[in-house]
Amino acid sequence: MTDEEKPFSLSRRSLLGGTAKVAALAGVGAAAGSSVTAFRSDTSEAALISRANAAEAGAKGVVAPGDLDDYYGFWSSGQSGEVRIFGVPSMRELIRIPVFNYCGATGWGTTNESKKILTEGLLPETREYLKDKGGMFLNGDAHHPHMSFTDGTYDGRYLFINDKANSRIARIRCDIMRTDKIIEIPNAADMHGMRPQKYPRTGYVFVNQEHRVPMPNDGSVLEDASKYRCVFTAVDGDAMEVAWQVLVDGNLDNTDCDYQGKYAFSTCYNAEQATDLAGMTEREQDWVVVFDIARIEEAVKKGDYTEMSGIPVVDGRKGSPYTRYIPVSNSPHGINTAPDGHYVAVNGKLSPTVTLLDVRRFPDLFDDKIEPRGAVAAEPELGLGPLHTAFDGKGNAFTTLFIDSQVAKWNMEKARQAYEGEEVDPITEKIDVAYQPGHNHTSMGETKEADGQWLVSLNKFSKDRFLNVGPLKPENDQLIDISGEGMALVHDAPTFAEPHDCIIVRRDLVNPLSVYSREDPMWEDARKWAEKDGVVLEDGSETVIRDGNKVRVYMYSIAPSFSLNEFKVKQGDEVTIFITNLDDIEDLTHGFTLTGYGVAMEIAPQATSSVTFVADRPGVHWYYCQFFCHALHMEMRGRMMVEPKSG
Amino acid sequence: MTDEEKPFSLSRRSLLGGTAKVAALAGVGAAAGSSVTAFRSDTSEAALISRANAAEAGAKGVVAPGDLDDYYGFWSSGQSGEVRIFGVPSMRELIRIPVFNYCGATGWGTTNESKKILTEGLLPETREYLKDKGGMFLNGDAHHPHMSFTDGTYDGRYLFINDKANSRIARIRCDIMRTDKIIEIPNAADMHGMRPQKYPRTGYVFVNQEHRVPMPNDGSVLEDASKYRCVFTAVDGDAMEVAWQVLVDGNLDNTDCDYQGKYAFSTCYNAEQATDLAGMTEREQDWVVVFDIARIEEAVKKGDYTEMSGIPVVDGRKGSPYTRYIPVSNSPHGINTAPDGHYVAVNGKLSPTVTLLDVRRFPDLFDDKIEPRGAVAAEPELGLGPLHTAFDGKGNAFTTLFIDSQVAKWNMEKARQAYEGEEVDPITEKIDVAYQPGHNHTSMGETKEADGQWLVSLNKFSKDRFLNVGPLKPENDQLIDISGEGMALVHDAPTFAEPHDCIIVRRDLVNPLSVYSREDPMWEDARKWAEKDGVVLEDGSETVIRDGNKVRVYMYSIAPSFSLNEFKVKQGDEVTIFITNLDDIEDLTHGFTLTGYGVAMEIAPQATSSVTFVADRPGVHWYYCQFFCHALHMEMRGRMMVEPKSG
């Protein structure tokens, strides 16, 4: 009998099975039942200690006007499609970075520069689908923002983020906080879990397909789920191209990797390969899939793969030398590597347990010296609905309990001792959160420099925690001080639909520019057009070039004026407007809004932005600067005059 | 010599003229020069008092986790096109309300319900322009959010907001915090200043055209600015239709109205009727235009108007019985009626003065018993770049000084005394703000219930006040405690591009629903389709109706599942999906994301949402709930199977 086929009976697993499942199904009822009044009228010792801690920690969470936050928080925004920068500990949203969304303020989805990024990485069949829809998706579902690593810690180069809705991965340049590459993942669907390689550097960005689909998904297979496929993908984060893929069993959920550069691993559910809820949760058991990076690279080198859409796809289904499937209870969710470099926490979701794997045992696992369950170092029972775990770098872990609406603090070494039969309780403390936490994150907590200062619990429901704003409520991202003995709630931060995850990065590791370099590749195309037209963008050239029915308008901006006060085109002309912001002062962004044409874009200091449209509407259309720039900002404008078609 | 032709020599006008203009032009240099270091190292008595006040007021600005804010703040978002709800005094952004933007999270711009609102109020020529562009504008420039009034104070029914980019006015229902009407204003362009009628109720929403354009703007007139026109518009806020328009001289900027229901008034610049900056600012003098509402209504009744696009347009140019033009210095900007019901502050912008008009003198003004300048009650010199004024309801006014980066607190009665020759200084205090303030607003400050608790200064530049987030910086909306003798800075709140204005509403006046009524008109069309198809949305019907190549799919959602686990259509079918959320629990919003199709929408508790698309892509496409709803949320999904076209 293999490890996997055994009934679950390990002494400390404490899988509640059916009970937990019932509780999970009732989870929303629990969410509805609690309330802020109940929360504050709780006079239990735990609640009183928690409130006392909060009062003491309050001062630590205050960032006075004019003072700077200690950390950059990078927040995903779920179906809003953007990335947000927060300040921690103030929990103020500092800025939005457009990614998978349409942003009228910055012109993301309007400018030629952004359209190129939003379209060039799409697959041919997607281009075909979008060709009469403006060529772009306007939505995305951004879940997991993670920074690039060098030697196990953040290096300030890039952020990466997935789009579950339209199967894409995006990269954000941290020098300018703008997305520079978006690619759609071939041979896959519905990208979910995503993490960058920690060591030696990023390197790879690992990403999970969540939903199994036929490959190719061209309609030749429809109902027969046994023919659906799921792949694990390694993206080359430097080239932003897919390096290789690995075919797996089940549905992949979240992913992480080690601090040694050897393994990646994903939670994997639906061992049943079903297509409905009852079927997917029928069995008591699913897996963690471990990927041996060196073996997979070797397989690609020696040709042990099938090529699909030009990508080497290695077969990593059960029994493959490239993967191992470690049995865990039904439907595990989050997976998080501890800063100690040894432990990996696998969160039970439908089981009240977290399974702690020890990566030091993975070589033996791949050499078949141990059974898959032999990689398990601990499996503490923490409470109902464990979803994600974060770390303080001092051996403690913090696990969100969705159904219990709590965060459990527990000690990994004690959990190992308990798993080995010692009489110790690994749980140190539980704190109530409001309500139903999903992801959580600690300051620097997914790096080897985890510093144990702050924990954010991203709670899915806010209900009565804020003024009622109508049927759609915000989420509630709570900031908790974990620097002392006890956890202390410091801030309730409302967030719009719907952050899934965040990271908290020490501020010295992030050093953005305030003024663009004129050499920035972002306006390489604009520069080429200017050269062709005998115009130099940087020297304040302003001119209108007619090229058949194509018109190129070059102008510059210096507060409070555009260099061109007016220009004239003919109805039906295809007009491209290039604007270079010659102001080189911090915070002096200009904008260009063309009224009645649905055109608006930002032009940051020393940037060039361009937009192309057909001048279909005759008459006088004013353009104006929509980023306040000067006492005479409202006077910064000009006229586009469109001569009507004769007849 | 009429009042208007006189050179400005009134004793207390103190118009700096040329000097102020030079300073204004240099404004951005001042912005660049200051810094947080300079701000905090300022040990002047004023600065120290300000900091001491801030320290004392700090506690008042803290809203502990679980406590509720005292006020709803409604913030515009400028070129982001949305409205935001803030909590005051915590300055937390509680939620976004989609209006003139595309919102992938809520499906605003995707659902049939939102598309109807975004398209039905457009003018025919705009529909024609947009017909191959998805039928909608995706951007807007939202400036001035204001709530409907009854008897001089907020009544919690509606919010109204303008779009300067595409000449629209939107209405938001405060029961559900969703936009229910958007209209494009005919015979006009580039709507800017906007305020609702205060008395007896809203009633009218007054709105200013900013840029002069030819009417009709069909290309028959292009360069000749002497033939351009500008109108003041009264929208019927109940019907959301234009009631009447008034032709004026110059460009209209901001607007407000009285507490008696008799007059509206707008700042008006470009008396020169020029089209460039030099021309527009050439003369030393512009106007406030006062509109006599009863006289205009009478003119409409008796037919003294020109009909344009079905709208009565009354001629209110200089010399008309319907308007009066009160001379003020060049380029006035904000105009704000004081809660006392008598004074109206006209902010000088290029002049360092605020002109205080007395509405009690307007009857004499219209009866030609006084010269236009006879309506002026005071004209204090406050500092460089006065843009907007707010009030505490105790006779004090707070004026933003853009160039000085300050807010000046001054007493209106003292200003009147000084204007009449007494030796009093109306200025009580100035506080530094960071940096370059535009609009400001006090708690309940534009109503007769102004309560003198809080002032928000919406500063256009933040520069070094927050962690550096790249070339595009946030604005800085600062909260100032005005309840005591001195003003005290409490919070620096970063905001995304780019709030122009806000209002602060006592929380007892706003009472939104948490769960929709099934009778809500928002899904009237869905209900009609269901009736036609023999389906009842509310009883959990689920069915797929084929009607030629049109397919209507009805399903419901109860956490954690959709009633339809799968459905099949043919490639090329026009598919409409109607989803009714049968959960009726607070905060239990579901979502529907169709992968690879660019489709996502929210379905709030007891709401119905629908989306129509062509099933162009063959194969298996999963749909899933993207608003976290349950421990088994990730399992809430189903399959759309698209049979490929044969051949």
To the nearest whole Å, the CA of B460 is away from the closest chain A CA by 6
10 Å CB burial of residue A229 (0-12, 13-18, 19+) is buried
Say if the Cβ atoms of B277 and A561 lie within 8 Å: yes
pLDDT (average), residues A594-599? 98
The pair of three-digit structure tokens given for residue B359, joined into one six-digit string: 């509405």
The pair of three-digit structure tokens given for residue B513, joined into one six-digit string: 């629903």
Query: Rounded to an integer, what distance in angstroms lies between the CA atom of residue A431 and that of residue A51?
Result: 10
- Per CB-CB distance under 8 Å, the chain B contacts of A514 are 468, 470-471, 473
Query: Rounded to an integer, what distance in angstroms lies between the CA atom of residue A116 and that of residue B313?
Result: 46
Tell me the per-residue pLDDT of A72-93, one tens digit each, with 9 for 90 and over: 999 999 999 999 999 999 999 9
pLDDT given for residue B25 in this prediction: 34
- Per CB-CB distance under 8 Å, the chain A contacts of B176 are 470-471
pLDDT given for residue A38 in this prediction: 38
To the nearest whole Å, the CA of B229 is away from the closest chain A CA by 12
The residues pairing with B292 across neighbouring beta strands, listed in sequence order, are B263
The one-character DSSP state at A23 is H
Query: Rounded to an integer, what distance in angstroms lies between the CA atom of residue B156 and that of residue B173?
Result: 9
pLDDT given for residue A42 in this prediction: 60
The pair of three-digit structure tokens given for residue B397, joined into one six-digit string: 């006014």
Cis amide prior to B512 (ω within 30 degrees): no
Query: Rounded to an integer, what distance in angstroms lies between the CA atom of residue A611 and that of residue A623?
Result: 13
Say if the Cβ atoms of B102 and A105 lie within 8 Å: no
- Residue A280 above 80 pLDDT? no
State CA A518 to chain mean position distance. 30
To the nearest whole Å, the CA of A337 is away from the closest chain B CA by 22
To the nearest whole Å, the CA of B641 is away from the closest chain A CA by 6
pLDDT given for residue A6 in this prediction: 36
pTM of the model: 0.93
State the best of B79, B111, B210, B432 to mutate against chain A, taking most chain A CBs within 10 Å: B79
Say if the Cβ atoms of B167 and A595 lie within 8 Å: yes
Percent of chain A topping pLDDT 90: 86
Residues A175/A512, Cβ–Cβ less than 8 Å: yes
State the best of A22, A28, A463, A592 to mutate against chain B, taking most chain B CBs within 10 Å: A28
- Per CB-CB distance under 8 Å, the chain A contacts of B351 are none
Count residue pairs from A and B with Cβ separation < 8 A: 471
Q: Which of B65, B89, B69, B92 is nearest to A480 (CA)?
A: B65
DSSP readout, A565-613? Answer: SEEEEETT-EEEEEEEE---STT--EEEEETTTTEEEEE-TT-EEEEEE
* Mean pLDDT for all residues in chain A: 92
- At A278 the three-state DSSP class reads helix
Q: Which of A349, A273, A214 is nearest to B622 (CA)?
A: A214
Q: Is B169 left (phi over 0), alpha (psi -120 to 50) or beta?
A: beta
Q: Which of A515, A432, A507, A442 is nearest to A476 (CA)?
A: A432
Q: At what angle do helices A112-119 and A524-532 cross, to 10 degrees?
A: 120
Residues A554/A609, Cβ–Cβ less than 8 Å: no
State the best of B70, B119, B492, B587 to mutate against chain A, taking most chain A CBs within 10 Å: B587
Residues B551/B545, Cβ–Cβ less than 8 Å: yes
A13 falls in which pLDDT band (50, 70, 90)? Answer: very low
* Residue of chain A whose Cα is closest to the Cα of B559: A28
* Residue of chain B whose Cα is closest to the Cα of A218: B619
Say if the Cβ atoms of A602 and B129 lie within 8 Å: no
Q: How many other β-carbons are positioned within 10 Å of the β-carbon of residue A532?
A: 11
Residues A609/A632, Cβ–Cβ less than 8 Å: no
Tell me the per-residue pLDDT of A373-387, one tens digit each, with 9 for 90 and over: 999 999 999 999 999
10 Å CB burial of residue B120 (0-12, 13-18, 19+) is exposed
pLDDT given for residue A276 in this prediction: 82
Tell me the per-residue pLDDT of A100-115, one tens digit each, with 9 for 90 and over: 999 999 999 999 999 9
Burial A556-567 (b: 16+ CB within 10 A, else e): bbbbbbbbbbbb
Tell me the per-residue pLDDT of A497-532, one tens digit each, with 9 for 90 and over: 999 999 999 999 999 999 999 999 999 999 999 999
pLDDT given for residue B138 in this prediction: 97
- Pick B469's closest partner by Cβ from A95, A141, A636: A95
Residues B357/B288, Cβ–Cβ less than 8 Å: yes
Residues A623/A638, Cβ–Cβ less than 8 Å: yes
* Residue of chain B whose Cα is closest to the Cα of A215: B619
Tell me the per-residue pLDDT of A618-633, one tens digit each, with 9 for 90 and over: 999 999 999 999 999 9
Residues for chain B: how many in total?
Answer: 647
- Residue A10 above 80 pLDDT? no
Query: Rounded to an integer, what distance in angstroms lies between the CA atom of residue B85 and that of residue B109?
Result: 20
pLDDT (average), residues A283-304? 96
Q: Which residues are CB-contacts of B294 (< 8 A; sequence separation ≥ 6)?
A: B262
- Per CB-CB distance under 8 Å, the chain B contacts of A268 are none
- Residue A320 above 50 pLDDT? yes
Say if the Cβ atoms of B631 and A25 lie within 8 Å: yes
Q: At what angle do helices B524-532 and B112-119 cross, to 10 degrees?
A: 120
To the nearest whole Å, the CA of A420 is away from the closest chain B CA by 30
- Per CB-CB distance under 8 Å, the chain A contacts of B66 are 36, 39-40, 434, 465, 492
* Residue of chain A whose Cα is closest to the Cα of B71: A467
Say if the Cβ atoms of A85 and B469 lie within 8 Å: yes
Query: Rounded to an integer, what distance in angstroms lies between the CA atom of residue A598 and that of residue B212?
Result: 19
Q: Which of A598, A563, A600 is nearest to A580 (CA)?
A: A563
Residues A234/A204, Cβ–Cβ less than 8 Å: yes
Q: How many other β-carbons are positioned within 10 Å of the β-carbon of residue A240?
A: 18
Side-chain-side CA neighbours of residue A14 (13 Å): 15
Residues B582/B540, Cβ–Cβ less than 8 Å: yes
Say if the Cβ atoms of A643 and B219 lie within 8 Å: yes
Query: Rounded to an integer, what distance in angstroms lies between the CA atom of residue B281 and that of residue B296?
Result: 30
Burial B22-34 (b: 16+ CB within 10 A, else e): ebbbebbebbbeb
Weakly modelled stretches of chain B, pLDDT under 70 = 1-58, 647
Residues A88/A479, Cβ–Cβ less than 8 Å: yes
- Residue A466 above 70 pLDDT? yes
- At A194 the three-state DSSP class reads strand
Say if the Cβ atoms of A626 and B58 lie within 8 Å: no
State the best of B230, B469, B475 to mutate against chain A, taking most chain A CBs within 10 Å: B469
- Per CB-CB distance under 8 Å, the chain A contacts of B69 are 466-467
To the nearest whole Å, the CA of B470 is away from the closest chain A CA by 5
* Residue of chain B whose Cα is closest to the Cα of A641: B222
- Pick A218's closest partner by Cβ from B39, B214, B644: B644
Alpha-carbon distances, residue B588 vs A477, A505, B65, B522, B637 (angstroms): 17, 32, 22, 19, 16
- Residue A223 above 90 pLDDT? yes
Terminal C-alpha separation, chain B = 86
- Per CB-CB distance under 8 Å, the chain A contacts of B630 are 24-25, 27-28
Query: Rounded to an integer, what distance in angstroms lies between the CA atom of residue A208 and that of residue A190?
Result: 8
- Per CB-CB distance under 8 Å, the chain A contacts of B478 are 65
Tell me the per-residue pLDDT of A250-276, one tens digit each, with 9 for 90 and over: 999 999 999 999 999 999 998 878 888
Instruction: Read off the amino acid at residue B134.
Output: G
Say if the Cβ atoms of A95 and B629 lie within 8 Å: no
pLDDT given for residue B213 in this prediction: 97
DSSP readout, A154-201? Answer: EEEEEEEEEETTTTEEEEEETTTTEEEEEEEPTT---EEEEEE--SSB
Say if the Cβ atoms of B139 and A600 lie within 8 Å: yes
- Pick A277's closest partner by Cβ from B223, B276, B635: B635
The pair of three-digit structure tokens given for residue A618, joined into one six-digit string: 């005759």
pLDDT given for residue A270 in this prediction: 86
To the nearest whole Å, the CA of B193 is away from the closest chain A CA by 12
Tell me the per-residue pLDDT of A448-460, one tens digit each, with 9 for 90 and over: 999 999 999 999 9
Q: Which residue has the tokens 């799968």?
A: B566
State the best of B110, B139, B180, B567 to mutate against chain A, taking most chain A CBs within 10 Å: B139
pLDDT given for residue B54 in this prediction: 59
The pair of three-digit structure tokens given for residue A31, joined into one six-digit string: 């969410």
